[in-house]
Structure 1
């Protein structure tokens, strides 16, 4: 895309057009976007000194500032290094009706590292591909602009900045490195652009030899892309093909399993102490951990979490209780709010319900169209794979009780003044849909039980048995993950 780029071949279509006119056209389209279910992400990337700031200024000049944000991504700070790769970018994705501009992006780190190994590069590009596909599926336009200039132009611009005492600070080590190794970076950039020139989110290479022409081109591409999207006739996307379930995982479990009170008391505190020691060890070794608790209503998720964390230092973990998304959260992709709470290295986040609501409550209650919740199985698998590749331990618990046990627990809550606040009319309505939720859980386990993040099904009819099993499974998974982590460090 870059190697064969001809700087002498100019598109004169926009030569006589004022940038302000193009900006006004984009602003008119922005007003239509505000009242739609769509959003737009505009990535402005490219060479250092290629005029990204100039182009961004012209792109936003005529827009209503209430409905767009500009995020600048310079070198990753130490805090960002403590998070998963896409964390800082996911926070700034646009909500419905809004435009987000990225000055540099998730591509920049990869573009500036000539020594990055192919395995790591391909993983990150796969991660980016997953994000862009998911955004497009959720009606977000992903527009990617790469500003390209010649080696000679780059040299002149750097020299000009050096001669300006008020702008000299704009020159960074990356400017000098790219100029010094222009041909190597050209080849590297070209490779990345080719690998990520996706059909739904292609790259647009813009010559920035003349900055005003670059702005005209960027404005024109942004307007035509947004206009085309808004004019598309709404069609219901096809539902992903899902093969029928050959077996139902929940049918295999024995809900009659139980332990005696003596066995429970004899094991509980020792297991809690061991869990606390392992979480401390993960903190020392900078291993982040995510625990997911899903299950039948009234299955005992809260009780299991309380027993698990009883002797764990409260500074080392957070509990994220997932309720229905707020009005603001509903404007974003369903995974957006979970990226906000993923743990830093060494900490643990416990999710009392999670992103699996997409294929459970949103599916059963009809809150999400079938084509979107059906696509979520693979989206979730990719997200979890990427988190594990980034060094996170993911442990997923599904606590299950039968319909009669659920009914009895609801009645017990109803008659207990200290617990009746937990019971709502919605709980009883969900009880009537017990079989529908069971069907959804069966498919969830069958389609998202992966090597990276397998499901642990907990038989929950007896709370004591369930709590002990959660502790034992956490200890087993954490110990194995720490040992693998240490093994990899020694191999290096």
Structure 2
């Protein structure tokens, strides 16, 4: 790509238009995007001192400031370093109908480290591929520009900036390092662009030897790609394109094999509980000390006892080191983003524990059964969730998922108990009764979820919860086992 790039053959099919006219056309395209509720992500990456600011300024010059946001990504802060690689980028992805422009992007770390090892490079490329594909599948338009320049032009621009007392601060060590090692970075950039030139999100290389021409081409290309994206997305929404094929439904039904006769006596429960809670506390402190982030997911049948299990698990833990995230229906603002967006915002930094009382798995359970998501949307969610959890694992996160199961008769008894006890009546809602009427549909969805998202990196633990005491002890034991295993791997 870059190594074969011929600067002398740079073509600008938009040279007949003035930049102001192109800017006004882009503003009209953005209004159209707003009307049809489509998010647009524009990535402007490239060499240091290659004119990213110049190009971005022209891209937004005629836009309504309320319709776009520019995010500048430099080296991650200490807070960002303590989070998974993609955390800070998910936060800035565009909501429906708006435009996000990234000055540098998820490629920043890769582009600026020519010594990065192949295995780490491949993991990061896979993570980037997943976020771009997930946004695209959620009907986003993604446009990627790489600003290219010759070694001579880079030197000239660095010299000009250094002589300008008002702009000399813009020169960083990266500018100097790239210039001094131009050939090394050229080879490195070329490799990354080739690996990340995905069929669903291609790179557009812009020569910035002539910044005005580069800006015109960026404007024109953005306008064209926005219109192409709108046609693609609206065609799919209107049934003009068939792109979904339901995978073979797994035949395994793990919930059929759950032994719900397992139980503990009060005496045995009290004998084990205190010691296990203290051990869980000690391990939580070790995870914090070493800096291992932990994600614990609790899902299950309604009234299976998730809250009680979480309460017993955390009883002796320092509350400053963990947080319970209770997941309900997304707010109007959250619904304007990709469904995983709100969960990324709550992922733990190094050493912290985040406990999700219900989670992203609502996509393949409630949203599937109640038809809040299309078949295509929840079908592709299995892969999206696996990719997200793989990303957490790559960062060193302990990911452990508990599924609490009771049978239909036990659920009915617990529902009745909640209705009769004043301090528990808040736990039972009309929605619980409606969900119960679809018991078989939910069990089918749960079985498929357990089969398709049980991975070595993020395993499911099915908890026999007919007896609450047994379930609480099993959750404690499983946390202790997996925490010790994670600590041994450090």
Q: CA offsets, 1:178-233, max 9 Å, x none? A: 00010111111011111111111000000111111111011001000001122335
- Tell me, which stretches of 5 or more residues in structure 1 are unaligned? 486-492
SS in 1 for 2:403: strand
Deviation at 1:9, TM superposition (A): 1.4
Distance 1:119 1:381 in 2: 19
For 1:97-136, list aligned pairs within 5 A. 97-136=97-136
Cα contact 2:304–2:466 (8 A) shared by 1: yes
Distance 1:62 1:174 in 2: 31
Among 375, 387, 392, the alignment partner of 2:397 is 392
Among 361, 373, 376, the alignment partner of 1:371 is 376
- Residue equivalent to 2:235: 234
Deviation at 1:293, TM superposition (A): 0.2
Distance 1:13 1:343 in 2: 47
Deviation at 1:12, TM superposition (A): 4.6
For 1:227-266, list aligned pairs within 5 A. 227-232=227-232, 233-235=234-236, 236=239, 237-266=242-271
Deviation at 1:234, TM superposition (A): 2.0
SS in 1 for 2:320: helix
Among 330, 338, 352, the alignment partner of 1:347 is 352
Distance 1:304 1:57 in 2: 53
- Residue equivalent to 1:66: 66
Cα separation, partners in 2 of 1:469 and 1:12, compared to 1, 3 Å: closer
SS in 2 for 1:314: coil
Q: CA offsets, 1:408-442, max 9 Å, x none? A: 11111111111111111111001111111111110
Distance 1:20 1:422 in 2: 59
Cα contact 1:458–1:466 (8 A) shared by 2: yes
- Tell me, which stretches of 5 or more residues in structure 2 are unaligned? none
- Residue equivalent to 1:289: 294
- Residue equivalent to 1:148: 148
Distance 2:13 2:201 in 1: 24
Distance 1:347 1:219 in 2: 44
Cα contact 1:73–1:102 (8 A) shared by 2: yes
Residue 382 (1) aligns with residue 383 (2): no
Among 430, 433, 442, the alignment partner of 1:437 is 442
Cα contact 1:240–1:374 (8 A) shared by 2: no
- Residue equivalent to 1:315: 320
Distance 2:39 2:18 in 1: 26
Distance 2:200 2:244 in 1: 18
Distance 2:119 2:40 in 1: 30
For 1:405-444, list aligned pairs within 5 A. 405-444=410-449
Distance 1:374 1:123 in 2: 24
Distance 2:251 2:231 in 1: 42
Aligned residues: 485
- Residue equivalent to 1:217: 217
Residue 21 (1) aligns with residue 26 (2): no
SS in 1 for 2:356: strand
Cα contact 2:135–2:338 (8 A) shared by 1: yes
Cα contact 1:50–1:147 (8 A) shared by 2: yes
Cα contact 2:249–2:448 (8 A) shared by 1: no
- Residue equivalent to 1:481: 486
Cα separation, partners in 2 of 1:361 and 1:12, compared to 1, 3 Å: closer
Q: CA offsets, 1:26-75, max 9 Å, x none? A: 00010111122321100000000000001001000111111111100011
Distance 1:478 1:36 in 2: 47
Distance 2:222 2:207 in 1: 15
The TM-score normalised by the length of structure 2 is: 0.98
Cα contact 1:300–1:463 (8 A) shared by 2: yes
Q: CA offsets, 1:217-274, max 9 Å, x none? A: 1100100000112233522543344223232111111112111010011111111100
Cα separation, partners in 2 of 1:12 and 1:98, compared to 1, 3 Å: closer
Cα contact 2:398–2:483 (8 A) shared by 1: yes
Cα contact 2:12–2:216 (8 A) shared by 1: no
Distance 1:240 1:286 in 2: 42
SS in 1 for 2:9: coil
Distance 2:246 2:457 in 1: 23
- Residue equivalent to 1:92: 92
- Residue equivalent to 1:489: none
- Residue equivalent to 2:139: 139
Cα separation, partners in 2 of 1:422 and 1:221, compared to 1, 3 Å: same
Deviation at 1:79, TM superposition (A): 1.4
Distance 1:389 1:20 in 2: 45
- Residue equivalent to 2:183: 183
